[in-house]
Chains A and B, each alone.
Chain A
Amino acid sequence: MPPVLPYIPQRITVHLGPPNSDAENVTVSFVDYVKNVASSEIYPTWEESALRANILAIVSFALNRVYTEFYRSRGYDFDITSSTAYDQFFVKGRSYFENVARLAEELFNDYLRRPGFVEPLAAKFCNGTTVTCEGLSQWGSQNLARQGYNTTQILRSYYGNIEIVTDAPVMGITSSYPGTPLRRGTSGPSVVLIQTALNRISQSYPAIPKIPSIDGIFGAQTEATVRKFQEVFHLDADGIVGSATWYAIVRIYVAVTSLAELRSQGQQFYANSWASRNPISFGDRGVRVEHLQFMLSVLSAYIPEIPGVQVDGVFGPATRNAVLAVQQRYDLPQTGIVDHRTWDEIYDQFSGIETISWRNPEDFPYTNALISGMPPRARYARSTTMTQYPGVPLSSGSQDPVRQEVIR
């Protein structure tokens, strides 16, 4: 069997204490995790080559924990801890530094490995003054950088013979970076994708100007939109879609459309009763479980302490973990069973999200304008992937004309 290549997870679950402690878990996007750890571990005023070396070590270490399932294979429900005695320093909710964050956006899918090995290097590090170790010295890396060492030289001086893997595949991102930057004058399908994504993002971010024509040509208007996107998301505002900008655009586009899909998915439950009934617990199946999982999915999109679940109608370990997380967050007895109190708490929180966040038409627009100019096949594909109104009115007894056109 060929080796399974490492991928970059969309999100990572961090246990906020030593492995066996009764601490809570938080789930954050992988790139936000890297920003957080790097801002907690090193100073932003250091030389750039030192910052890069440290960030690559941080990424590699975290990916090693994910790839080897270091904790999950031991029965834990998290990927890594925040404890420096075991892993890397992570601080829930902390701020980060803009220059460090830019480097994290650039390096989050690069990592270190030994030649001939597949897994990311478990790249240990320590501060090098009060604590020493066999891996990278943080202060030592800064000293080497001040002596003129580049990032690779710094890393090799601590880890020996290593290679740097770049642009590793990212989980949940269906469109990988095309390999070369998109800039003024570029044309093709990658430009269409970026234009479509930017226009959808601009619905929520009106400061980002819409591109009037999704034509696949990277012209002055696309460049202006890219530049504004970069400003808003604190990237280098050069108007060029390099790797960091590409992944930032696609990541936000996927998140925005996924949330819109989830919101649409909820419509199937509006005919059901939302009142609590008999308790639901591990092993249960059916529509009631699906309904619960839908509400938990919504909560997990808004609350980092609540892990995501599949809406599959089966009350398995992931659903139980999400229920336990709700019970921990809202001070309910941690039973993993959805009794009246737990159901009502989940419903109340869901209801708050629905009332306060989901009624903003800018964030959840109909996509008619977006898809109306596309050919039928593309329009149908786009409308179904977004789970949105297909652009043509349907009434009782009629067939979907767009779909029929596509099938013919």
Chain B
Amino acid sequence: MSATGYIQVNAYASYARLPLRDVAITITANDGTAIAMRLTNRSGQIVPVEIPVPEASDSQVPNPPERPFATVNLYAHLRGYEQVEAENLQVFANTVTQQDLMMIPLSELPDSWDQTAVYTTPPQNL
């Protein structure tokens, strides 16, 4: 893991992309170790998080010996909205991975308050 990739988020509500401020973002490695915690700004974005990744040359040929990207998990929480878990985000060398978080307002009934949307990215087919 000698190269660097980056993660950015865009947290918003509805197709009108109304930005969501103060969304708590946690990024973890696959073993659960926390890599970074951030709050979104008034544009619904964070200071990008650096992730160690394989060299770009690893993704230039089919069937490299090692997987040519790193994977991390991301959790997003904002009171009043459905929580989001995004699993296996792929991060490549010198590339920004953008995670859109279209967060859904929750009904006012307490049984919905810990509702979570889980998005899992399957492995690449290449």
Instruction: Provide the bound-state CA to CA distance between A192 and B107, in Å.
Output: 40
0 or 1 for each of A236-264: is its CB under 8 Å from B? (1 = yes): 00000000000000001001101100000
Do the beta carbons of A258 and B16 come within 8 Å of each other? Answer: yes
Given contacts A204-B19, A363-B18, is CB(A302)–CB(B105) below 8 Å?
yes
Contact indicator A45/B105 (Cβ below 8 Å) = no
Complex-state Cα separation, A220 to B89, whole angstroms: 39
Report which residue of B59, B119, B125 has the largest number of chain A beta carbons within 10 angstroms of its beta carbon: B125
Q: Does B28 contact A (CB under 8 A)?
A: no
For B109-126 the 0/1 string (1 means CB < 8 A from A) is 100100001010110111
With A127-B126, A351-B107 as contacts: A98 and B92 at CB distance below 8 Å: no
Closest to B81 in A: A356
Closest CB of chain B to A201's CB: distance in Å? 9
Contact between B94 and A45, CB atoms less than 8 A apart: yes
Known A43-B126, A205-B42: A92·B106 in contact at CB below 8 Å: no
| B residues 62-85 in Cβ contact with A at 8 Å | 62-63, 68-69, 80-81, 84
CA distance A45 to B94 in the complex (A): 8
Could you count the A-B residue pairs with CB atoms below 8 Å apart for me: how many are there? 141
A139 touches B126 (CB 8 A): yes
Residues of B in contact, count (CB < 8 Å): 50
**A370 proximal to B (CB < 8 A):** no
Contact assessment for B16 and A95 in the assembled complex, using a CB-CB cutoff below 8 Å: no
CB under 8 Å from chain B, chain A span 336-355:
348-349, 351-353, 355
Report the minimum CB–CB distance from B80 to chain A (whole Å).
4
Contact flag A97-B92 (CB < 8 Å), given A142-B60, A348-B109: yes
Residue total for A at the interface (Cβ-Cβ under 8 A): 54
In the complex, the answer to whether B107 meets A352 with C-beta atoms within 8 Å is: yes
Q: Is the CB of A360 within 8 A of B56?
A: no
Whether A93 touches B94, Cβ cut-off 8 Å, given contacts A352-B105, A352-B108, A355-B108, is no
> Given the complex, which residues of B lie within 8 Å of A258, measured CB to CB?
16
Which of A11, A95, A142, A356 is within 8 Å of B105, CB to CB? A356
- Measured in the bound complex, the distance between the Cα atoms of B41 and A127 in whole Å is 39
- Counting chain B CB atoms within 10 Å of each CB, which of A255, A304, A352, A355 scores highest? A352
Q: How far is the CA of A29 from the CA of B14 in the complex (A)?
A: 11
**Counting CB contacts under 8 A, is A129 at the interface?**
yes
Q: Which residues of A contact B (CB under 8 A)?
A: 11, 29, 32, 40-46, 84, 89, 91-99, 101, 127, 129-130, 138-139, 142, 146, 204-207, 232, 234, 252, 255-256, 258-259, 301-304, 348-349, 351-353, 355-357, 360, 363
Q: Which 9 A-B pairs have the closest CB atoms?
A: A93-B119, A348-B107, A98-B96, A356-B105, A352-B107, A255-B16, A95-B99, A259-B16, A43-B59
